[in-house]
Structure 1
């Protein structure tokens, strides 16, 4: 069955989710315009308020507040929902804008910009996270065009409005213009966006948040002000990095023990997230190199005015949205890895085109490389955010998005520090004691200093290839299958109370196949656990079911159960003596790897939508077992559907949460005994409260119905002996 065609009519502003998309676009527009509107009005601000030496802090304090707040907001949103964090961010941004507009001095304006930055730190990542929540991966390929249009419009409207307000009205309107936009965005978000967050008690990681904020602030401050306010090798220059390192080391220690860490350490063990975040970091480094020095080269070396110099940089902000809006076509057809590698090649090509630029070059020779690099940034950054979001569940998507954006901010700070140090060092050697003020530097002195930045940018651009190669070859394929439908957190009143999406089935055939498929829509095949059947039999099963019927399978016991398990008695061919110490417990031995490949072959023949890894109670949460699980799941080929994991016995909830998030596992439980840590992907297996012969009472089935109510497409599989009758009673209860 082919998926329905996704059109702009189904996902755009006139669709059911259109008002939410509009609110997100307005919210992101606040941040996008603010990032470009102020620069052109700095002279007017300084003329009115004074404080020329302090005006760089208008940008630095904003960047600091935004960057440090992003990962904290991401975690809070995962605990309490996106809506309250987004509304808080809009509120802080609007309040900060109002205060900036009435600021009476440069210090006051800087403080109010801090408040604006705290708001922006919530708005941008929450906007992208909400998009990830309400749209599937395929739909985001279309929606990305809408988000990209916001940035493209802001790159043109922002500088223009800044110049108009500064020249004809007042620079204060640069901030007042945010008030109606922010109020409109907040009102639409409040009225039209509804999300379902399961209420439960949380353990807030206050200490971790404070340590991250303090350590991150000092680290960014040291990078931004090193070589400007103080020398790199001076006492303040070294001390700020030492204190930052100590605070961040303490943060890591706290996070390793926190029940609900603000920044889970498993984030740094996921290959797809490391690839995405490293790409965002390099993009941040290069982007600051362009935005800081391309306009300066156009003015100070090529002799153009400020407006024309801004147009050279605008070519990058035009290329980026073009690529971002078309990136979906590529990552859906050829995968995320190839798309990121393609974007990396664009960036490298653009950086190479900058190398021959000299004092005799025309402006287009400077603008063209910026445009090409902007194309590359769009093909690296946008798919990077999407694959990061899609590789985790709802409860971790805020952290994944926030970490990606924090990585870009860190890259920007490093870019400011490194490129600034390179230019200053070259100028100090060339000026020979003369003033280093820009207005006193000749083109002959400035050109080689900035050209050195272009050379370093070309070298740094090569690192994007490494981040692309780090991306798993099949990154996003499982997420595309699992998240092909939105999670369903927006309100759709007629459908919320129905149970048409609950998949009720049995663990194993209990009646003839022809009778079974008339009663249930899914079966969990047990034969594959004891000893996988021949492909011919599996193919016959597949051919004899109606369209839409699902198979899930249980992985061969050789993968999970050690040789002393009594379940091996049902194998037709006993294990060879040489293999008995090499099977089970996720060992990466030849017998286990071969058994896993056979499991995958069965899944492919049956077109199974999920593969279950069921562990015996003897597989306890020891360090050795956890390490084996991590190694196995990280290294082996994954199935084409979801990977389910049912640990038996007592496992700490925090450890389960970390492992399922890190390894992209669906936590399978008997809901009569415990609750899953992956409620956004529910797969229940009911074994019987009092044993395998247990018959579920009407009260138990009603409780089960309440548990699955509102869950996105849950699976309820009965595994007790009288399971056929229990499943039919539960099915009737749902329909009644």
Structure 2
């Protein structure tokens, strides 16, 4: 997951209208990918009723999460190799293909394959969406856009089940997939027209072998867990072979990661106790959250006899609890810098919520069920919010992007494992209980698998069948309680280190709370941190953050000349040369308005005028360098709580900050409001 963006081809400066269109385009990609993580939760019983194969139900979620986890790694690398715009568009095409195939699927195997294809496209969309934000949105404004993107991801993820229920009840479960097609087509067209092409100058090395080994190893473990006790006996050669093969593949993965130049997951990260603890906790949170979100609607439809839409609405207390504690814990962490109590309390509350949900039955009232789900959601929200930012706070700069994507990777893999284990426990308990309930009744299994058909049966006939579903799902929740308790124990080993100011600024982002896939590029991560600092500075005072003109020049250069120097510097860097006409067009003012400014700049010796062409003199170039150094000092002051024990790490950070200082200077020079004459 190592990535660098030490140099980029410069993206053109976008006006606010085009910038907003680009943002909407990127949001559409994020929305579709996040939605399809959870939209199938309320459709599963109906899909089983239509296609059969109840034992494979969990794979509709697992296939998506597993391929998404691998795709987020590959897409980040391919974006650096071929350009993020191209990868974003190709990911959308793959997502469309998976959606169409899922909508037309006539059997469970085809639908599972389609979900896997969707996961490849969804993973690519999510990780390139965040990278594109870094490419096209100025750093001063990036914080609010990243915050909005995180909110879209979080809200869409948790509302997916309700939307899936609406489609299922009022159209067909197939429309959960068909609806993606027109949205993706519009998104691809908008991307082609509006998103600029920005290609990194560096050519990263892709750890293909490491990615293949971990993907095959994890897939083998999940297959073994899914098939064990249902398709094959636990002691059968197939299951033993899958587990043994997975162990060998994962051992080979560890060996490869210690030898390749740019490993997907550097093993040295695990020497950092904070990273190790947060990775385990992230896995456990993903395991419990998505597993519960997948099977709660199934419980509500089979046991309580509600519709798909109502089952989605009935899970909203869990969503509410999750959102409330994510926001509250994020704000407390941001204010106090203390984070250790939250994962400890979160794991304990999750375990309590799982236990309470395992006691639910036909006689449990709606308000009590809602309370149990609310408690479970409160625990998830307390646990999720701090894991990524805590890791970012402790790893060296060189490993900033890798560690961030590593924690997210473990959360996604945990979601895949959780759904698979929930499915194994569910099938193992349900199959014999359902067979016993149906024995001698003459009711075909197809009726028992359909919530609508089950609701149509007389109570005395349906009661044993409903009890079979109750016992199966309650058993699942009960067996997962120890997993949450393991998280409670592990959380006590989390070392609390004072949070950097830049890290605190990220704690309130909703996307952080949901472990949104993010760029594995350390420069992107550094810019993200600085963007949040700039956003917080802007909230504290009116006007843009950063050093004032007086600070830039020591009061020796008039404001108009500071702007004039900066505008020439910016256009020369972006376009290779500056003209009076070009600068006037950039700022939408008549050339005659700027002529006196540049005559004054020429008389002061800062700018040389040759016809319409403008060029910085040595004195002007020195002034621009001074402005840039002032910005760098300002950045150093905002990041003064970053520690660098390794000189090599500092050597990587310095050029990155120099580049960011130059970008901030150019952004300052691109604002018309910075020049009084253009107001």
TM-score normalised per structure 2: 0.63
Per-residue CA distance 1:680-700 (angstroms, 9 max, x = gap): 345xxxxxxxxxxxxxxxxxx
Out of 266, 269, 272, the position equivalent to 2:271 is 269
Per-residue CA distance 1:226-279 (angstroms, 9 max, x = gap): 333222221111101111111121121112111112222233333343333222
Within the alignment, does 1:374 sit opposite 2:377 as a pair? yes
Within the alignment, does 1:455 sit opposite 2:478 as a pair? yes
- The verdict on how the C-alpha distance between 1:427 and 1:321 changes in structure 2, with shifts beyond 3 A counting, is same
User: Which residue is equivalent to 2:153?
Assistant: 147
- The verdict on how the C-alpha distance between 1:308 and 1:521 changes in structure 2, with shifts beyond 3 A counting, is closer
Structure 1 counterpart SS, 2:644: strand
Structure 1 counterpart SS, 2:497: coil
User: Which residue is equivalent to 2:261?
Assistant: 259
- Aligned equivalents of 1:355 and 1:51: distance in 2? 25
- Alpha carbons 2:62, 2:419 under 8 Å: kept: no
Q: How does 1:15-30 map to 2 (within 5 A)?
A: 18-30=20-32
User: Which residue is equivalent to 1:666?
Assistant: 650
Per-residue CA distance 1:173-199 (angstroms, 9 max, x = gap): 432311232234445555555686641
- Alpha carbons 1:312, 1:364 under 8 Å: kept: no
- Aligned equivalents of 2:656 and 2:270: distance in 1? 23
User: Which residue is equivalent to 1:333?
Assistant: 335
Structure 1 counterpart SS, 2:292: helix
- Alpha carbons 1:27, 1:185 under 8 Å: kept: yes
- Aligned equivalents of 1:294 and 1:230: distance in 2? 27
- Aligned equivalents of 1:389 and 1:195: distance in 2? 29
User: Which residue is equivalent to 2:122?
Assistant: 120
- The verdict on how the C-alpha distance between 1:275 and 1:51 changes in structure 2, with shifts beyond 3 A counting, is closer
- The verdict on how the C-alpha distance between 1:642 and 1:85 changes in structure 2, with shifts beyond 3 A counting, is farther
User: Which residue is equivalent to 1:646?
Assistant: 647
- The verdict on how the C-alpha distance between 1:76 and 1:225 changes in structure 2, with shifts beyond 3 A counting, is farther
Q: How does 1:47-126 map to 2 (within 5 A)?
A: 57-77=59-79, 82-102=84-104, 107-126=109-128
- The verdict on how the C-alpha distance between 1:460 and 1:39 changes in structure 2, with shifts beyond 3 A counting, is closer
- The verdict on how the C-alpha distance between 1:265 and 1:120 changes in structure 2, with shifts beyond 3 A counting, is same
Q: Which runs of 5+ in 2 are unaligned?
A: 1-14, 440-444, 450-461, 505-525, 534-565, 574-624, 667-679
Per the TM alignment, residue 443 of structure 1 is displaced from its structure 2 partner at its CA by 4.8
Within the alignment, does 1:415 sit opposite 2:418 as a pair? yes
- Alpha carbons 2:286, 2:418 under 8 Å: kept: yes
- Alpha carbons 1:343, 1:378 under 8 Å: kept: yes
CA-atom RMSD, angstroms? 4.7
- Aligned equivalents of 1:487 and 1:393: distance in 2? 19
- Aligned equivalents of 1:352 and 1:104: distance in 2? 37
- The verdict on how the C-alpha distance between 1:230 and 1:276 changes in structure 2, with shifts beyond 3 A counting, is same
Structure 2 counterpart SS, 1:680: helix
- Aligned equivalents of 2:362 and 2:225: distance in 1? 30
User: Which residue is equivalent to 2:531?
Assistant: 486
- Aligned equivalents of 2:145 and 2:340: distance in 1? 19
Per the TM alignment, residue 30 of structure 1 is displaced from its structure 2 partner at its CA by 0.7
Structure 2 counterpart SS, 1:643: coil
Out of 365, 368, 374, the position equivalent to 1:365 is 368
Per-residue CA distance 1:47-100 (angstroms, 9 max, x = gap): 877877766654443333223333333454566665444333222112322344
- Aligned equivalents of 1:351 and 1:87: distance in 2? 40
- The verdict on how the C-alpha distance between 1:424 and 1:112 changes in structure 2, with shifts beyond 3 A counting, is closer
Per the TM alignment, residue 35 of structure 1 is displaced from its structure 2 partner at its CA by 3.5
- The verdict on how the C-alpha distance between 1:173 and 1:406 changes in structure 2, with shifts beyond 3 A counting, is same
- The verdict on how the C-alpha distance between 1:416 and 1:468 changes in structure 2, with shifts beyond 3 A counting, is same
- Aligned equivalents of 2:348 and 2:134: distance in 1? 27
- Aligned equivalents of 1:301 and 1:47: distance in 2? 16
Q: How does 1:423-502 map to 2 (within 5 A)?
A: 423=426, 441-474=464-497, 476-477=499-500, 479-480=502-503, 484-486=529-531
Q: Which runs of 5+ in 1 are unaligned?
A: 1-12, 500-518, 524-545, 553-606, 611-639, 648-664, 668-675, 683-706, 715-736
Higher RCO structure, 1 or 2 (CA under 8 Å, sep 6+)? 2
TM-score normalised per structure 1: 0.59
- The verdict on how the C-alpha distance between 1:267 and 1:94 changes in structure 2, with shifts beyond 3 A counting, is farther
- Aligned equivalents of 2:414 and 2:163: distance in 1? 26
- Aligned equivalents of 1:419 and 1:106: distance in 2? 18
- Aligned equivalents of 1:36 and 1:23: distance in 2? 21
- Alpha carbons 2:66, 2:416 under 8 Å: kept: no
- The verdict on how the C-alpha distance between 1:39 and 1:295 changes in structure 2, with shifts beyond 3 A counting, is closer
Q: How many residues in Structure 1 have an aligned counterpart in Structure 2?
A: 522
- Alpha carbons 2:232, 2:239 under 8 Å: kept: yes
- Alpha carbons 1:281, 1:409 under 8 Å: kept: yes
User: Which residue is equivalent to 2:619?
Assistant: none
- Alpha carbons 1:57, 1:110 under 8 Å: kept: yes
- Alpha carbons 2:42, 2:309 under 8 Å: kept: no
- The verdict on how the C-alpha distance between 1:447 and 1:420 changes in structure 2, with shifts beyond 3 A counting, is same
- Alpha carbons 1:302, 1:361 under 8 Å: kept: no
- Aligned equivalents of 1:327 and 1:250: distance in 2? 39
Out of 328, 333, 350, the position equivalent to 1:347 is 350
- Aligned equivalents of 1:104 and 1:156: distance in 2? 24
User: Which residue is equivalent to 1:680?
Assistant: 656
- Alpha carbons 1:71, 1:263 under 8 Å: kept: no
Q: Which has the higher helix share?
A: 2
